[in-house]
Structure formats: structure tokens, C-alpha cells
């Protein structure tokens, strides 16, 4: 049964990007027990995972581990900096991680800083308009059925940039500006991060919509 299951592992997508970075997405269909059988989790990490009250969160964390096992040949030790940014203890490879109930995604690169964010489109993103968008961005919103998707993309893009910058107290509406875009199945985004001293940094991001989810990533 175990071998059978191993063959049908829920690796949803593995994609090499132009600059040697790579994305991998896992569709979380397994039970907690199946995921435990699927992966060898270092004991201190297992202890940390077991502290999560919600089964869904434990499954998401175990699915991250399943993805690491899938992508790396040797066993990886995952840890987090004080600001929550993940890193691999025994590798120079940079990593960014994101998850929802149904999907877990990582982006890795040996050379570049990274950011990735995934959200379910079943969520209502209307609060993003009030909290995270600038006046210009609000003007660029479509007034149609695509609006929730558009808001989700804005949110994921800003989250991904926030992750790559790893600064405290970033004001999304003022410091991260995403250029106007039309919602497609997949596309590119241009965005600017405005530092506190007003220095501006430009980023290019990519996004993809699949199975009622939005995923946005960037390699900086």
C-alpha cells in the first residue's frame, strides 16, 4: 500500500524558471498519517509540527516536508529566522514557502533571494482593497467578476515582495505598488518597493491561477 501510494504522490507541479530557480507545488490530499509515512521528518521538526492544534496546519507542514524530500536528494533541515523567514540549515539554497489547506508551494534558488505566496480564491479579498492597496491601485481595479481574483493577485504579489525584503513593519498600501494588469490564467506583474528613505526598487513577478488558487512568485 505504501509503495502504491508513493507512486501517486501529490506533486502537482514542478517548474524550472529561467534563472535556475525552481518551483514545486504539492496537492495536499493525504491524511496526516500518510504524510508521516511518506517523509522522514527530523525529530525536532516533528516535535514542532505536533504542537499545532489544527490538523490542517500539521498536514500543511508535513506536505512541505514531502516537497523537500521530493526536490532534494539529501535530507534537508528546515529552520526559521527570528522574522519567520525559512532557511535550510544544511544547504546554501535559498527557499521561500507558502501554503493553503489544499496546496503547499516552495521556490528555491542557489543564487537569488525569493518570495512566493499562494491563496485560495474561495476567500473573500475585499478587505485587501481597503487595507493593502494604494489609491492608484484601487483606480485600476475592474468592477466585474474578476475583481476578487485581481485583489488576490495584488495580495499575493505584495506578500511575496514582503517576504523577499524581510523588513519589519512594511505598509503594503504605501510601500508596495503593483502596476496595472489584466487577469489571465498566467502572467507577469511589475511592482515597486519604496523603502522608508524613499529609495525605490523594481521587481518583476509571475503569477498563475489554477484550481481556484492564485500563486505569485519572484526571484530577486
Q: How many CB atoms lie within 10 A of CB 167?
A: 12
The stretches in the chain having pLDDT less than 50 are: 1-7
How far apart CA 76 and CA 65 sit, in angstroms, is 9
CA–CA dist 26, 28 (Å, integer): 6
Distance of CA 62 to the CA centre of its chain: 16
Tell me which DSSP letter residue 51 carries.
T
Q: Three cell numbers at 151?
A: 485583489
Q: Report the SS3 class of residue 209.
A: strand
- Name the CA radius of gyration of the chain, rounded: 18
- Is-above-0.95 flag for pTM? no
Distance, in Å, from the CA atom of 41 to the CA atom of 64, rounded to the nearest integer, reads 10
d(CA 116, CA 86): 12
pLDDT recorded at residue 201:
97
The three grid cell numbers given for residue 136, joined into one nine-digit string: 492608484
pLDDT at 7: 46
Give pLDDT, residue 21. 95
Amino acid at each position: 500500500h505504501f509503495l502504491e501510494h508513493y507512486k501517486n504522490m501529490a506533486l502537482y507541479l514542478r517548474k524550472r524558471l529561467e534563472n535556475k530557480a525552481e518551483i514545486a507545488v504539492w496537492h495536499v490530499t493525504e491524511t496526516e498519517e500518510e504524510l508521516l509515512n511518506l517523509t522522514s521528518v527530523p525529530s525536532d521538526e516533528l516535535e514542532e509540527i505536533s504542537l499545532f492544534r489544527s490538523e490542517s496546519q500539521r498536514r500543511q507542514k508535513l506536505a512541505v516536508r514531502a516537497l523537500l524530500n521530493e526536490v532534494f536528494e539529501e535530507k534537508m533541515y528546515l529552520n526559521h529566522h527570528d522574522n519567520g523567514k525559512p532557511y535550510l540549515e544544511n544547504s546554501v539554497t535559498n527557499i521561500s514557502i507558502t501554503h493553503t489547506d489544499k496546496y503547499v508551494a516552495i521556490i528555491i534558488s542557489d543564487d537569488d533571494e525569493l518570495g512566493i505566496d499562494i491563496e485560495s480564491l474561495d476567500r473573500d479579498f475585499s478587505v485587501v482593497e481597503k487595507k493593502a492597496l494604494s489609491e492608484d491601485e484601487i483606480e485600476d481595479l475592474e468592477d466585474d467578476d474578476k475583481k476578487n481574483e485581481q485583489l488576490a493577485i495584488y495580495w499575493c504579489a505584495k506578500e511575496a515582495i514582503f517576504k523577499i525584503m524581510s523588513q519589519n513593519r512594511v505598509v503594503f498600501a504605501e510601500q508596495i505598488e503593483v502596476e496595472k494588469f489584466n487577469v489571465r490564467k498566467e502572467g507577469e506583474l511589475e511592482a515597486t518597493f519604496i523603502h522608508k528613505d524613499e529609495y525605490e526598487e523594481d521587481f518583476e513577478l509571475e503569477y498563475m491561477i489554477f484550481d481556484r488558487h492564485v500563486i505569485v512568485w519572484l526571484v530577486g
